[in-house]
Amino acid sequence: MQTTQPRLSFWQIWNVSFGFLGVQFGFALQNANVSRILSDLGADLHSLSLFWLVAPIMGLIVQPIVGSASDRTWNKLGRRRPFILAGAIAAVIGMILLPNAPIFVAFLAPMLMGALMVALMDASFNVCFQPFRSLVSDMVPPSQRNVGYSIQSLLINIGAVIGSILPFVLTNVIGLENTAQMGEVAPSVMWAFYIGATVLLGTVIWTVIRTKEYAPDEYNRYKGLSDADVAEMSKEKAPLLKRLGEFFDLVINMPKTMKQLAVVQFFSWFALFIMWVYTTPAITQHIWNVDKQWFDPAFIAAAPVVPETITMAKGAAGDWVGILFAAYSVFAAIFSIFLARLADKFGRKMVYAGALALGGISYVSFLLFQDLTMVNVNLLITEVTVPLGAVKLLIPMIGVGIAWAAILAMPYAMLAGALPANKTGVYMGIFNFTVAAPQIVSGLTAGWILSSVFENDAKYIIVVAGISMLIGAIAVFFVKEADTSALQEEKGE
């Protein structure tokens, strides 16, 4: 009877993570366009980060619950796949309804409807995310863990590239309108969400069909679980208060590696949240030279008319954010190909810290690239005329992409070997606290910092993101990995 977990082929590992391409497609559409949508629906710069709070809050609530539930689930679809499929279906509903928020004006204000749909989308993405992470840990043996999470990172970034550039393509290649009046959503953004919903559902169904999870007895044998561990996993649920007590006990007694990684995660995700929320206003002001007053709904409402130049500049800047986000995803995808080898050669900590440092420097360098000279840019699929500064911003996207690839893979690769096999799902869910909490802090503070300290000059909040990520790079060196010796033993080193 085989007790060692079998190695997987490249395509088996690929199929395990393929659905992540679609989930990240939807996530990329959200990241690049939600600030744009909410601004068009009436949100000001200060409140943007508050609306974005629904994303990490949903993650904070959903992922530990789903993680614990999936640890205890065994049915015909497996233990993780039922949650992945259910989350994908719910996400599709949110992606279809979000750009149609103005239709529901008779029932809810469009901005509030939009925020509710963002909440639904994020809750659904989180239902998918956590079981996908755990599925890789379940199916991929320790000796292939770097490869497994690197392939996952590659697929995530392929989805992110396509999702990010889609509104730009629909405008500049297909010819859909990319501008919207206050209270409306641009047609290019609406159709991008419809296409994204289709891709998300299709890729998740592929993973559900093509991946066969281990049967309970196989899983227990490969993971070295004792009869006592199995009995603990299969026992009836305790009363709610007792379960809450057990949950907080798990949090208090989480592995040391997990606690140390939490510090790195805080400064990394604090920075990422700022980027997602404020890149659009930052480059609209800094690169397209649109005065910050045009991000004030009260000023816009009092103006006799919004000049066409302002509307077009905001639309063009919003499209270019998709190009920038696609660019960092391309660089992340390229870097993720080499990530496993680099981690094996130089160590996970060195690669992780170096990547975060590059990301931090890149954010700070945003200040250096203002150039209002208009240039024609050939993007192969179309030509556009944009400020030269917009083109130069592709340079710091290299560092941002390298940081993003490392953030998606390295913490989970470092953490996986430190978790008990019978609680992998719930601990991976708890680990999402280290993703959600810094975003909540960022959401509560970034808007205030932007309005009170920087007087709504959004480029400076991007600099704050850079400083935060540099602190995260330093914190990596204080992480003590738990599975290095075991991994080397398995490799025969």
Instruction: Of 289, 341, 340, 280, give the one whose Cα is nearest residue 310.
Output: 289
Structure tokens given for 363: 């954010």
CA–CA dist 268, 287 (Å, integer): 25
Predicted pLDDT of residue 219:
73
Q: Report how far residue 125's alpha carbon sits from residue 123's, in angstroms, rounded to the nearest whole number.
A: 6
Type of residue found at 137 = S
**Minimal CA–CA distance to 360: which of 279, 466, 271?**
466
Largest CA distance in the chain: 79
Residues 209, 84 contacting (CB under 8 angstroms): no
Identify the segments of the chain with pLDDT beneath 50.
484-493
Q: Which residues contact 398 (CB under 8 A, 6 or more apart)?
A: 328, 331, 358, 362
8: left (phi over 0), alpha (psi -120 to 50) or beta: beta
Residue 157: alpha-carbon gap to chain centroid: 10
Which amino acid is present at 10? F
Q: CA–CA separation, 360 vs 339, rounded Å?
A: 19
Could you tell me the pTM of the whole model? 0.77
Ramachandran angles phi, psi of 5, nearest 5°: -60, 130
Q: Which residues contact 214 (CB under 8 A, 6 or more apart)?
A: 138, 139, 222
Output the pLDDT for position 493.
Answer: 40
What CA–CA distances, in Å, run from 191 to 82, 258, 273, 405?
28, 40, 25, 28
Residue 40 is encoded by which pair of tokens? 């068009």
Q: Which residue's structure tokens are 């809810």? A: 108
Contacts of 224 by beta carbon, 8 Å cutoff, 6+ apart: 3, 421
> ∠ CA(286), CA(291), CA(297), 5° rounding?
120
For residue 2, the model assigns a pLDDT of 60
Residues 6 or more apart whose CB falls under 8 angstroms from that of 234 comprise 72
- Consecutive H or E run containing 114: helix 110-139
What is the number of other CB atoms lying within 10 angstroms of the CB of residue 250? Answer: 17
Q: How far is the C-alpha of 271 from the C-alpha of 463, rounded, in Å?
A: 9
Count CA within 13 A, CB hemisphere, residue 337.
6
* Other Cβ atoms closer than 10 A to 474: 15
Which single residue is written with the structure tokens 């993101």? 465
Secondary structure of 163-207 in the HEC alphabet? HHHHHHHHHHHHCCCCCCCCCCCCHHHHHHHHHHHHHHHHHHHHH
User: Up-side HSE of residue 251: CA atoms within 13 Å toward CB?
Assistant: 14
Question: CA 445, 449, 451, 457 torsion: positive or negative?
Answer: negative
